Structure 1
Amino acid sequence: MRILVIGTGGREHALARALAADPDTTEVHAAPGNPGIARVATLHDVDPLDGEAVAALADDLGADLVVVGPEAPLVAGVGDAVTARGIPVFGPSAAAARLEGSKAFAKEVMTAAGVPTAAARVCTDAAQVAAALDELGSPYVVKDDGLAAGKGVVVTTDRDEALAHAAGCERVVVEEFLDGPEVSLFALTDGRTVYPLQPVQDFKRIGDGDAGPNTGGMGAYTPLPWAPSDLVEQVQREVLQPTVDEMARRGTPFAGLLYAGLALTSRGVRVVEFNARFGDPETQPLLALLESPLLPLLLGAATGTLADVPPPAFRAGAAVGVVLASKGYPASASVGDPIAGLDEAEALDGVHVVQAGTALGPDGDLVTAGGRVLAVVGTGASVAEAREAAYRGVAVVDFPGAQHRTDIAAGV
């Protein structure tokens, strides 16, 4: 099998790495990729948002499967362009990717499917926002309706801050605040069959103790020893399958990766959001524990044959990923800073590094090229052991202004 992975980030590096390890994979290609992905794949300088260019590349390569990593190409219809050439795509159509592309649409689908979620109001002007804030109360939750790279949500007790965030968006969804811990649960689906994966928890804010602004994610771990033992079965029954069935009923079947962001509230499980692709950084520790070959699962989802593939299985133990971000993130990103210590980190037992915002400098050395630069992933027999391994790796990686949280999976 010849596989083409679309994207540049840590999620795509983790996917390419897992696919390259699959015995049925003969070649992995990526567009445009990054230096880490180049270690396991052949890179192609193609714009991931240009559907026709991606489709032409897939055609030229004779790709047997195209895996679209990020949300923006999915929402832009890149998968549709590839599918039109008769090539299987892992990732939903543009119509189905609206589950992530529009939070208002996702709320509409959840309501129709009877999926438990927060009360919400869709607002298009300041007066509507003010009324919704007063109705739903503090803490205020204001979400940009469209894609915002994980940074379109403000949760605050400051009404002025909530109003200011809304003013910077064309359309927002104002929601009631959900108490309790948040959990990420991914599911593979071909539009009918739904295979949930192992729950993961990620850490969105930049600072220890969940201080500071939201980011795309500063770390994650799996499994969750504290989560209810029947959580996956409950979410499959009450959230995932009803949503997939509702999308099929609408004539826009959802095939690919359905990501449910969940709040385990005092009133039960509630959906915070849907995403239409693997999450970043949750994918990094999740795939580190996946025992099943990844390729048959993705191909089954892409070709409507997922029921013929054994459900995903995970090995015992735990994995923890810690993100190292560049100076100034999330407000800005420092680029061109030399990165040291990756080989030393990867030489450690139970440690590997997944690259995200990296590039090669003029002299061929690895440098920073984005906000979230890389993730150090540790594995071990327990969350505590995996955490210790990850932070041993973090200790030997360095670049000017590097920042990371010190409390990922602490106390678990």
Structure 2
Amino acid sequence: MKILVIGNGGREHAIAWKLGESDKVSKIYCAPGNGGTSMEHKCENINLTDNDKLLKFALENSIDLTVVGPEVYLCNGIVDLFKSHNLKIFGPSKKAATLEGSKTFAKEFMKKYGVKTAAYEAFKDSKKALEYLEKAEYPIVIKADGLAAGKGVVIAETKEEGILAINDFMVNDTFGGAGKEIIIEEFLRGVEASILSITDGNTIIPFISSKDHKTIFEDNKGPNTGGMGTVAPNPYCNESVLKAFKEDILKPTLKGIQEENLDYIGIIFFGLMICEKGVYLLEYNVRMGDPETQVVLPLMESYFIDIIEAAIEGKLSDDIVKFKNKTACCVIGSSKGYPGRYEKGELITGIDSCSEKVFIAGADSIYNKLITNGGRVLGVTALGDNLEEAREKAYKGILQVNFNGMYYRKDIGK
């Protein structure tokens, strides 16, 4: 098979690497890919990012399957476009992708189908949103309705912080239209969990649970990032949590997908909050998470290509989706200054001799040398028989790679 993987992050490097494990797969084109995918077995980067050019490439090169990484392509309707030309593509339709593309649509969907989630109000008028803050209980969560690259969420501890966030989102238009409509939501106190799942539209099969570490500094301090590390399985996802998730979130979500005729074949990511009063859904993502993918796929015992094909053919079943009885830990190395203005152009060394798997997120290959070009540069993933062993190996691994100004959290999985 010839496969096209769309995207250029650590998630896409992990997807390409995992797909390449199967003998079924002969060639993987990564569009545009990164320095890591350019060096990966069976992979070749192609410098394409436009939907129509990707379609032309897929048709001219007889691509057997396209796998979409980032949400932007899905929300822009690339799946509908490829399907209209009888091309196999893995991902939800444009309509289904609105579950991530619009927070308001997602919350209304949750409410309609009885998915357990936080109480909320939606606003298109900044004055009404500001008036709502007068009677709100704090802390409170303020979310931009549209796609904001994972940065459109503020937890306001005070009314003053809420006013700043609303003005930032709605008046100053920091996110280029994504914050013209907002959600104000009750704050849930608890532990977050990520459950990536796969659906063929008839069933949803959860993958192994994971836990992201969002803030830049240890002890959950500092500004939010795209994710500074992950562990899987999530230590807080015990049997009772998973049972509540399936009953209160997964089942009603599947019912909604079917009743709304969303044409959803792909990944559905459940962002959960585990509270004293139950398990709540924070958000849907319509693609794999980054860096959750970097721990979930290394733990997958099955061939990923087999699972994707089963989903496309409507033949998903539990016996196809198997995971190793191990634990994974991924530690992210980021550029100096991230998540603010960060430095680029630094030489990365030590990857070839690293004892663990390194997934590249933000680096280019120039004359066969890896040079940083992003905020989150790489992730070192290690497997162990338990969390302590996986952590120890991941931290040993990240000490073996280096670039000037590299920063990483020391408490991933603690």
How would you bin the TM-score normalised by the shorter chain? Answer: over 0.9
SS in 2 for 1:409: coil
Q: Is residue 367 from structure 1 mapped to residue 371 from structure 2 by the alignment?
A: yes
What residue is the counterpart of 1:33 in the other structure? 33
Report how far residue 224 of structure 1 moved: 2.5
In structure 2, stretches of 5+ residues that fail to align are 170-179
Q: Is residue 239 from structure 1 mapped to residue 256 from structure 2 by the alignment?
A: no
Measure the CA separation in 1 of the matches of 2:29 and 2:262. Answer: 29
Output aligned runs, 1:109-258, within 5 Å.
109-169=109-169, 170-258=180-268
What residue is the counterpart of 1:376 in the other structure? 380
Report how far residue 43 of structure 1 moved: 1.3
Report how far residue 364 of structure 1 moved: 4.2
Deviations 1:276-316 (A, max 9, x none): 00000001011111001111111222333324x73411111
Deviations 1:163-219 (A, max 9, x none): 222223211111100011000011100111111111100011111011111111110
**Cα–Cα, structure 1 residues 301 and 134, in superposed 2: closer, same or farther, change >3 Å?**
farther
SS in 2 for 1:343: coil
Conservation of the 8 A alpha-carbon contact between 2:299 and 2:323: yes
Deviations 1:350-386 (A, max 9, x none): x11000111124x542111111111011111101100
SS in 2 for 1:344: coil
Measure the CA separation in 2 of the matches of 1:297 and 1:284. Answer: 17
Q: State which of 36, 45, 48 in structure 1 corresponds to 2:47.
A: 45
Deviations 1:29-83 (A, max 9, x none): 1111012112231111111xx2211111111221111100011111111122111
Structure 1: which amino acid aligns with 2:161?
A: E
Measure the CA separation in 1 of the matches of 2:20 and 2:294. Answer: 15
Conservation of the 8 A alpha-carbon contact between 1:244 and 1:253: no
Measure the CA separation in 1 of the matches of 2:294 and 2:68. Answer: 16
Measure the CA separation in 1 of the matches of 2:121 and 2:14. Answer: 36
Conservation of the 8 A alpha-carbon contact between 1:187 and 1:259: yes
What residue is the counterpart of 1:283 in the other structure? 293
Deviates more, 1:285-294 or 1:160-169: 160-169
**RMSD value, Cα:** 1.5
Structure 2: which amino acid aligns with 1:323?
A: I
SS in 2 for 1:263: strand
Deviations 1:122-153 (A, max 9, x none): 12233222233344411121111111111111
Measure the CA separation in 1 of the matches of 2:161 and 2:73. Answer: 31
Deviates more, 1:71-80 or 1:165-174: 165-174
Measure the CA separation in 2 of the matches of 1:374 and 1:29. Answer: 20
Q: State which of 328, 334, 344 in structure 2 corresponds to 1:319.
A: 328
User: Identity of aligned pairs, percent?
Assistant: 38
Measure the CA separation in 1 of the matches of 2:183 and 2:66. Answer: 33
Measure the CA separation in 2 of the matches of 1:136 and 1:67. Answer: 43
SS in 2 for 1:127: helix
Count residues in correspondence.
402
**Cα–Cα, structure 1 residues 16 and 240, in superposed 2: closer, same or farther, change >3 Å?**
same
Structure 2: which amino acid aligns with 1:395?
A: L
In structure 1, stretches of 5+ residues that fail to align are none
SS in 2 for 1:154: strand
What residue is the counterpart of 1:67 in the other structure? 67
**Cα–Cα, structure 1 residues 211 and 352, in superposed 2: closer, same or farther, change >3 Å?**
same
